[in-house]
Amino acid sequence: MKDENCIFCKIANGEIPAATLYEDDDFRVILDLGPASKGHALILPKEHYANLYELPDELAAKVIILAKKMITKLTGVLGCDGYNLVQNNGSAAGQTVFHFHLHMIPRYEGDQVGLGWKMGELTDADRDEILAKLAE
């Protein structure tokens, strides 16, 4: 299924040009037009799924295997020092395009790419509440 109004559907299916790093029957991997660092790329499924909740398990498994292959190769190409894999679900999580996509962000020592958060503390009450609700 494609969403004719979705820009990522159009890019993933070749209707809009992109710097394609890899393509197969399920996915297109492109360079991000607004990169966090040199070599920042996106894995886009060719079918439309708004987020990870909608992505079928089989494709979810394939996307992580593809990410591993891509970052393994790109680490050598780019000479980066590490990688972040980032996947946002919903506006509250920073998702701005509602077509599942996985960011592969190369990291370079001292690059100052801002992906951090303020560390909190797991309280006994929060732990107990989450564990109890999950067991229901």
- Residues 8-47 pLDDT 10s: 999 999 999 999 999 999 999 999 999 999 999 999 999 9
Whether 101 is catalytic is: yes
pTM of the model: 0.91
- Residues 66-125 pLDDT 10s: 999 999 999 999 999 999 999 999 999 989 999 999 999 999 999 989 877 777 899 999
Three-class SS of 6-40: CHHHHHHCCCCCCCEEEECCCEEEEECCCCCCCCC
User: One of 40, 48, 99, 101 is an active-site residue; which one?
Assistant: 101
